[in-house]
Amino acid sequence: MCGIVGYIGRQEAQSILLDGLKKLEYRGYDSAGLAVYNGETIGVKKKEGRIVNVESLLEEQSLLGSVGIAHTRWATHGKPSDRNSHPHMDHEDKFAIVHNGIIENFLELKEELQAKGHTFRSETDTEVIAHLLADAYNGDVVETVQHIVKKMEGAYALAIMSEYEPDKLVAVRLASPLIIGVGEGENFIASDIPAILKHTREMVILEDGEMAVLTDDQIQVMTTEGEKIDREPLHVDWDIVTAEKDGYDHFMLKEIYEQPKAIRDTLTGRIKEGIVDLASELTLSQAEMEQIDRIHFVACGTAYHAGIVGKYALEQLTRIPVEVDVASEYRYRDPIITERTLVIVISQSGETADTLAAMREAQSRGAKVLAITNVVGSTIARDADEVLITSAGPEIAVASTKAYTSQLVVIYQLGLYLAHIRATQPRTEIEKMVEELLSLPLKIEEALKGADILKMLATELARHNNLFFIGRGLDFAVALEGSLKLKELTYIHSEAYPAGELKHGTLALIEEGVPVISLATQAFTYDKMVSNIEEVKTRGAHVLGITTAGSVDLQRTADEVITVPQTLPLFSPVLTVIPLQLLSYYACIARGFDVDKPRNLAKSVTVE
């Protein structure tokens, strides 16, 4: 989720590159850097923090030249720091590269290169690419790039320049977006349209396994095997605001649709030989993991709802007793914590004051704290004992969507990892679950196809001032999240209830026409759930059922039914939450409210 800009032409590259980076900064980044060829060598300036930091460096000494590449980094591997910032160069400073994505086999490649005498300057996976290029250079940069990509496993969008052939830039893409901007006497590379929209509206979109070679007056697109491709540029007529949202009307919708990618990225690099392996990310020893005798999930809002799913997941997979707490309550309830307690704090931003305070309380009582967060350089990430990153990329809409599903996936990964270490699940079962986990991105894509029907249903829903979500077990956990999403976006009063609990009081509120969104995906409680739906229907409720494909009883009982693809019951929250997110989004539009900035709310809550 980093940003790339490249320029080759007749103007000074520095200002074009800086301006491009700034167009991407609204997403929030933690370091930035530029490389420009000055006629003799490649100069690099890079700095941790916001773009102004590198801009100050450039005020002291500019990078002169008309060929360059630049990058803003959203750290996922290797903490934000000057030396981990891009561009990266080989040990002889002949190649400069910027990279989005993850090179999964970088350790192996790094060892090979170190054995050949290459010295490394950063902790990143990216640097290995610059060294690979230097090592393999045969007098032809394009051929060298084609040769080294064969060795790289993972995902990459790359912009490459070389002192050997300074009249060209090379762009390569695999599983990470990259576009080429077509200018007159100048050409551009960018990871995102806003970065270059000011200069051109003609864009060539690279597909996976493709590369482009740019000079100031030519663009050659080809496969990484060298097969030439004729591709007409696409005319982009978006304004800059639309471009920032990738053409979506709102950041929230963009982020809902980014979930398959967020989950893929979160899974990347953590599955080895068919099982989850977090050994390179966690410092907990095998003995420490075996000794954990209770787990506390602590978080706020949507992240707290992820923690509730976490209780079901970790108890089922590891048989360790799990409690879930709202962070603002945790430190005041005198929780029972020992050295064998693992406290897991979940926070998208990593800055939520309540979560941070709860974390410090747990640490002061001797617990190990593991943070699940989306921001590598955040306070929570820095101060926790252990960190597992969600690779959802920057989340801008106040209402959390892709962070939640990514948090669920990290929780499942942790559960499966602990289950393997503690031998609480047979390896064959773990392998089956991992396979299912890997299929979730495609299943989310499938679930997103229901958007048109949900739009219609949401318009109807938006007329009400009161509604209910019900479910049992994990469906109840998702009902809580669906209800929160609806409240914060539409200002409709809604409540989530365990379906069996309604009859103990709240059923009195069900009357003619009240919408009840009923989740029924858990085979174990399915029949009971159908009876609970009958209970509310008899009292006049209008029922929207959410279930998995093929559930016949619900089709007969509910007024409308939305189906999501089948998966293991444990993983169903990742799919059932999708229609609920879309429902809230479209109901918000129908009521005419601000989707990305709901009233009274802030993205990062830094007060207790």
Whichever of 561 and 605 has its CB closer to ligand F6R, that residue is 605
CB of 359 to ligand F6R, least distance (A): 11
CA 561 from centre of chain: 29
85 touches ligand F6R (CB under 6 A)? no
CB of 574 to ligand F6R, least distance (A): 16
21 touches ligand F6R (CB under 6 A)? no
Selected from 31, 348, 405, 406, the binder of ligand F6R by CB under 6 A is 348
| Residues annotated as catalytic (active site), given as ranges | 2, 603
Selected from 349, 379, 532, 548, the binder of ligand F6R by CB under 6 A is 349
Cα–Cα dist 561/563, whole Å: 6
Q: Applying CB under 6 A, which part among 74-82, 179-187, 345-353, 517-525 lies near ligand F6R?
A: 345-353
352 touches ligand F6R (CB under 6 A)? yes
Judge contact between 172 and 149, C-beta under 8 A: yes
Q: By CB neighbour count within 10 A (0-12 exposed, 13-18 middle, 19+ buried), where does 585 fall? A: buried
Selected from 347, 521, 547, 557, the binder of ligand F6R by CB under 6 A is 347
Cα–Cα dist 78/99, whole Å: 14
400 touches ligand F6R (CB under 6 A)? yes
Q: Tell me the site size for ligand F6R, rule CB under 6 A.
A: 15
175 touches ligand F6R (CB under 6 A)? no
Q: Which ranges in 422-525 belong to alpha helices (H)?
A: 427-448, 451-461, 474-490
SS3 string, 559-585, reads: CEEEEECCCCHHHHHHHHHHHHHHHHH
Cα atoms in the Cβ-side hemisphere of radius 13 Å centred on 356: 17
573 touches ligand F6R (CB under 6 A)? no
Whichever of 48 and 488 has its CB closer to ligand F6R, that residue is 488
Q: Applying CB under 6 A, which part among 76-84, 206-214, 349-357, 531-539 lies near ligand F6R?
A: 349-357
259 touches ligand F6R (CB under 6 A)? no
CB of 601 to ligand F6R, least distance (A): 8
Instruction: Map the footprint of ligand F6R across residues 273-312, applying CB under 6 A.
Output: 300-303
| Residues 484-503, mask of contacts with ligand F6R (x by CB under 6 A) | x---x---------------
Residue type for position 134 = A
Cα–Cα nearest to 176, from 133, 126, 128, 241: 126
Two tokens at 4?
A: 């790339």
Cα–Cα dist 137/134, whole Å: 5
Whichever of 30 and 90 has its CB closer to ligand F6R, that residue is 30
399 touches ligand F6R (CB under 6 A)? yes
567 touches ligand F6R (CB under 6 A)? no
DSSP states along 173-205: EESS--EEEE-SS-EEEESSGGGTTTT-SEEEE
Two tokens at 290?
A: 């075996």
| Residues with Cβ within 8 Å of residue 363, at least 6 apart in sequence | 369, 383, 385
Judge contact between 143 and 131, C-beta under 8 A: no
Judge contact between 396 and 599, C-beta under 8 A: no
Whichever of 37 and 74 has its CB closer to ligand F6R, that residue is 74
Whichever of 110 and 402 has its CB closer to ligand F6R, that residue is 402
Interface residues with ligand F6R (CB under 6 A)? 300-303, 347-349, 352, 355, 399-400, 484, 488, 604-605
